[in-house]
Amino acid sequence: MALSIHALILLLERCLMNRPARTRFAPSPTGRMHLGGARTALYDYLLARQSGGQFILRIEDTDTRRTVPGSEQELIEGLRWLGLEYDEGPDVGGPYAPYRQSERREIYHHYAWELVEKGAAYPCFCSPERLERVRKERQAQKLNTGYDGFCRHLDPDEARRRVRQGEPHVIRFKAPREGTTTAVDLLRGPITTPNFMIDDYILLKSDGLPTYHLAAMVDDHLMGITHVIRGSEWLSTFPLHVLIVRAFGWEEPLWVHLSVFLKPSGKGKMSKRDASLAMDSGYSIYIGDLRALGYVPEGVLNWIALMGWGVEGDDVMTLEEMVRRFDLKHLNPAPAAINFSKLDHFSGVHIRRLPTAELARRLQPYLPAADLPLLERIVPLIRERLITLDEAPQWVDFLFQDEVHPQPGELVGKNMSVEQTKQVLRRALEILESFPELEAKAIEAPLRALVEELGLSAGQVFGVLRVAVTGKTVSPPLMESMEVLGRERTLNRLRKALQLLEAQSVTEGA
Ligand code: GLU
């Protein structure tokens, strides 16, 4: 107990000192990069940048059976797209390379045996068959199914001899049987666990590769990690982890276990099935999908930042603003329900905040027929309307079509006759033909005057012109659309619409 209070004071002191943080994002390349991983990486990044420290990417790939080819690349691309640049990592190197755990095998071997030498770990020769039999027996007796400690009391010299002779073995942690262990999580405070509940976990597997428990503790120490920010799934083995660090005699990092994400209904954790349901409705929990769906990284970051961070005041933030305002003390350990309409909100807000040239550049892949100067003219037409970048074509496709095909039924406005509609088109043509080019500012007043002149509403007159020029009842602002479309094409479309109605009147008259 004395130690844990001492540790607690040390931790708090360090927290207050605000020394440069070295944080790491340590994903296992076992699947796709999702919101949970991205949020951990974001908080790691914010803390490192804010304190003038470093943010590290470490790939935890020692569970080779679960490794999914391509997932390391997806993680790296996800981080780059989000703008979470790391200072050290497998592809950029750094003073503590290698940053891929599969390339650090000898290091873990060395440290596993250091624990054996210290009497805090031991080789275990139990076969998988024996372990399975014991597990079943204990289950039947309603005992806990952890390791029964068969090899714990082997004579150390005898055990070493068997290892030297090449007998298959693992290295297990020798968890204390008496007393309690207090581990301090920054968000949850001290967590005390009776030691008999802590299993003799495997540290080094029979294939010579470490488990997470050993590899992560060793690397966090060797890489000088000051804050371990990770998912709450690690809370159950948290006491083991602090015991391992203490057995080595190392200084503990600050531990932060983040909240879990719940499905949008708030009932239960997100499952694979929920993830595909989200996709069916145009959303996703995977970073690569959100990118493909046309969300902007600024919006995605803002959205995930607030899942567990109780920010005070304006919650619209760029990455730089988050760096300034981030505070571990404001993180909330309570589960957070995923709210996709907030994603839409933040994506739209951040699209509107992008400078014109930047938004134009980002829209280029979605509107390949337009060059940058044209895109910069299109941006003001649609900026206010976009939630995702991929919506751009549906707003401005009429600019890239040779002709549009308005429906006669849509051309003729509400409570208007065909005759009145033709009149609108004829008069608009006369007005616009008198301009050498169609500048939105210049044509606005005469077109508004036309509304007066015809005794119709603005909605009626502009509705007719909108359908004639864009082929649709909903479009970006009309005058600006005409300006970007250009004089010739605008006039042609108005003439075509007029002809369409005239042809129709003839048919109807016949
Ligand atoms: N490799 C672990 C995971 O992907 C990392 C947990 C941690 O950050 O320590 O869950």
Q: What is the pLDDT along the chain (510 residues), one digit of tens a residue?
A: 445 555 665 566 555 556 899 999 999 999 999 999 999 999 999 999 999 999 999 999 999 999 999 999 999 999 999 999 999 999 999 999 999 999 999 999 999 999 999 999 999 999 999 999 999 998 999 988 889 999 999 999 999 999 999 999 999 999 999 999 999 999 999 999 999 999 999 999 999 999 999 999 999 999 999 999 999 999 999 999 999 999 999 999 999 999 999 988 888 888 778 888 888 888 999 999 999 999 999 999 999 999 999 998 889 999 999 999 999 999 999 998 999 999 999 999 999 999 999 999 999 999 999 999 999 999 999 999 999 999 999 999 999 999 999 998 999 988 999 999 999 999 999 999 999 999 999 999 999 999 999 999 999 999 999 999 999 999 999 999 999 999 999 999 999 999 999 998 766 654
Ligand 1: nearest atom to the Cα of 220: 9
Out of 142, 267, 272, 441, which one is annotated catalytic? 272
**How far are the Cα atoms of 3, 28, 289, 293 from residue 280, in angstroms, in the given order?**
52, 27, 12, 12
Residue 402, burial from CB neighbour count under 10 angstroms (0-12, 13-18, 19+):
exposed
Ligand 1: nearest atom to the Cα of 24: 8
Q: Are 406 and 467 in contact (CB under 8 A)?
A: yes
Provide the CA 267 distance to its chain's centre, in angstroms. 21
Cα distance between residue 145 and residue 390, in whole Å = 52
Between the CA of 26 and the centroid of ligand 1 the distance, in Å, is: 5
| Ligand 1 probe mutation, 209, 230, 232, most atoms within 8 A of CB | 230
Q: Is 272 a catalytic residue?
A: yes
CATH of 408-509 among 1.10.1740.10, 1.10.10.350, 1.10.260.40, 1.20.140.10: 1.10.10.350
3-class DSSP string for 241-306 = HHHHHHHHCCCCCEEEEECCEECCCCCCECCHHHHHHHHHCCCCCEHHHHHHCCCCHHHHHHHHHC
Helix or strand or coil: residue 379?
helix
The tokens for 276 are 């595909």
pLDDT at site 455: 95
Cα distance between residue 76 and residue 71, in whole Å = 9
The dihedral region occupied by 415, where left means phi > 0, alpha psi between -120 and 50, and beta the remainder, is: left
pLDDT at site 456: 96
Between the CA of 435 and the centroid of ligand 1 the distance, in Å, is: 65
Closest CA to 433 of 501, 498, 503: 498
By alpha-carbon position, which residue is closest to atom 3 of ligand 1? 27
Cα distance between residue 491 and residue 484, in whole Å = 13
3-class DSSP string for 65-130 = HHCCCCHHHHHHHHHHHHCCCCCEECCCECCCCCCEHHHCHHHHHHHHHHHHHCCCEEEECCCHHH
Cα distance between residue 193 and residue 242, in whole Å = 11
The tokens for 261 are 């994400």
pLDDT at site 12: 61
Which residues are CB-neighbours of 399 under 8 A, at least 6 positions away? 370, 378, 481, 484, 485
Cβ of 28 less than 6 Å from ligand 1: yes
Cβ of 60 less than 6 Å from ligand 1: yes
Between the CA of 263 and the centroid of ligand 1 the distance, in Å, is: 21
Which residues are CB-neighbours of 468 under 8 A, at least 6 positions away? 406, 411, 425, 493, 494, 496, 497
Cβ of 216 less than 6 Å from ligand 1: yes
Cα distance between residue 331 and residue 203, in whole Å = 31
Helix or strand or coil: residue 413?
coil
Residues of CATH 1.10.10.350 domain(s) within the chain?
408-509
Cβ of 242 less than 6 Å from ligand 1: no
pLDDT at site 234: 97
pLDDT at site 1: 46
Beta-ladder partners of 189: 185
pLDDT at site 406: 95
pLDDT at site 3: 53
Cα angle 379-383-384, degrees, rounded to a multiple of 5: 150
